[in-house]
Copies of this chain bind each other. A is one copy, B any other.
Amino acid sequence: MAKAGPPRPGAAKPAGGRATLRDVAEASGVSPMTVSNLMNGRVGSMRPETRLRIEAQIEKLGYRPHTMARSLRLSKRLSIGMVIVDDMPNYLADPFITHVVSGLGNHLNANGYGLLLQGHSAAAFKGSPMVRDIRTDAICVMLSGSDAIRRGVVETLLGLGQPIVLFQEILKFPAVDLCSIRQDDRGGGRMLGQVALDGGAKRLAMLVPELYWPAIGERIKGIREAIRQQKNGAELRIVTCGDGEFRGTQAALAQDLDTHGLPDAILAGNDQMGISAMKLLAARGIRIPEQVILTGFNAFEFWQYTDPVLTTVRSPAYEIGARGGSEILKRLADGSFTQTDIVYPVALQRGGST
């Protein structure tokens, strides 16, 4: 190997050193600011021959800017945001969300993108760092709260000028850079409502958390559709169960049973609430399904823990997350999503509770 001489304009960088922006400038006979302008895409007033000369030296010297500087140049942060708007601090408690996040994260990681995860209450959302300072190429979001609150959050995000993927959202935002991916919660509600009606239920109760999630709203609509179609005069009562966790659900259901008596069917907003209800009913000596039909929603791992096992529907949450990742990467690569409203079916899982 030849002995390395002192660096000179146009010379390759000596072995062991790493070419800097200043080396490129010197070798090209331009100022460092001119090289910096090129690296950052500011080439409007640059003469083509200057640009070609600098690019030749970048190639020759093997100059590679710091990753972050390179991201800046490409206007690519190589990061995708995932915002979960939930009033609970443990915003990953629901397995639907963890399946979406891991499906999304795995797809992005495999393609060289990071996942920037944030959980916020709706109230804290506007003050979040993501809203103050854009640090992502696109944003995924899963929202709770009223239509007005959710619409406000999406509009704030749209103001950042980034592509958006909404998970489990039913609000429409026409003609904007947005893709909505969800499961057919209404269809799932219809299926489970139908199971209850087929079991002879006339008085149905639906357990829901106090915080509004659009997917829960869709499940209620599906049950109501099944009732309307049946035309047998069945009625649906909505029982609001605090935070939707074990104790909150049991306390609300206990009060409801004491006030209104036992319904013919209890349809829970998700499996967690269904299992909480099952344990309360068992403690009261009420037999499932003989005295009351009981259903859940989503069929994640712990769905199998009880006896009897809940009748429920199986959620494709992991696939929904992964699809979010592939839609974002397609949008960043060629400017458009494949579709703007993507709906995945859910599948009925019959257990011993109906």
A101 to chain B, nearest CB (A): 6
Residues of B within 8 A of A118 (CB): 105, 109, 114-115
Within 8 Å of chain B (Cβ to Cβ): is A119?
Answer: yes
Bound complex: CA A120 to CA B109 (Å): 9
Bound complex: CA A134 to CA B67 (Å): 8
Among A69-86, those with CB < 8 Å from B are: 69, 71-72, 77-79
Of A55-63, A180-188, A232-240, A300-308, which binds chain B?
A300-308
Within 8 Å of chain B (Cβ to Cβ): is A318?
Answer: yes
Determine which of B36, B69, B302 lies in contact with A302 in the assembled complex, contact meaning CB atoms within 8 Å.
Answer: B302
- Identical copies of this chain, number: 2
Within 8 Å of chain B (Cβ to Cβ): is A257?
Answer: no
Contacting pair A102 B91 (CB below 8 A): yes
Within 8 Å of chain B (Cβ to Cβ): is A133?
Answer: yes
Contacting pair A305 B305 (CB below 8 A): yes
Residues of B within 8 A of A349 (CB): none
Residues of B within 8 A of A89 (CB): 102, 106, 318
A198-239 vs B, CB cutoff 8 Å, 1 = contact: the mask equals 000000000000000000000000000000000000000000
Within 8 Å of chain B (Cβ to Cβ): is A329?
Answer: no
A116 to chain B, nearest CB (A): 5
A242 to chain B, nearest CB (A): 14
Within 8 Å of chain B (Cβ to Cβ): is A245?
Answer: yes
Interface size of A by CB at 8 A reads 56
Contacting pair B318 A90 (CB below 8 A): yes
Within 8 Å of chain B (Cβ to Cβ): is A142?
Answer: no
Within 8 Å of chain B (Cβ to Cβ): is A151?
Answer: no
Contacting pair B130 A114 (CB below 8 A): yes
Pull 28 A–B residue pairs with CB atoms less than 8 Å apart, ordered by A. A31-B31, A32-B33, A36-B36, A67-B134, A68-B77, A69-B72, A78-B129, A78-B133, A78-B135, A89-B102, A90-B98, A90-B102, A92-B99, A93-B301, A105-B118, A109-B119, A109-B120, A109-B128, A112-B129, A113-B129, A114-B116, A115-B117, A115-B118, A116-B116, A246-B304, A282-B307, A302-B302, A307-B307
Told that A67-B134, A79-B79 touch, could you supply 14 new A-B pairs with CB distance under 8 A?
Answer: A36-B36, A68-B77, A69-B72, A72-B72, A91-B106, A93-B301, A109-B120, A112-B129, A114-B129, A114-B130, A115-B117, A116-B117, A117-B117, A272-B301
* CB-CB nearest 6 A-B residue pairs: A92-B98, A67-B133, A33-B33, A302-B302, A114-B116, A117-B117
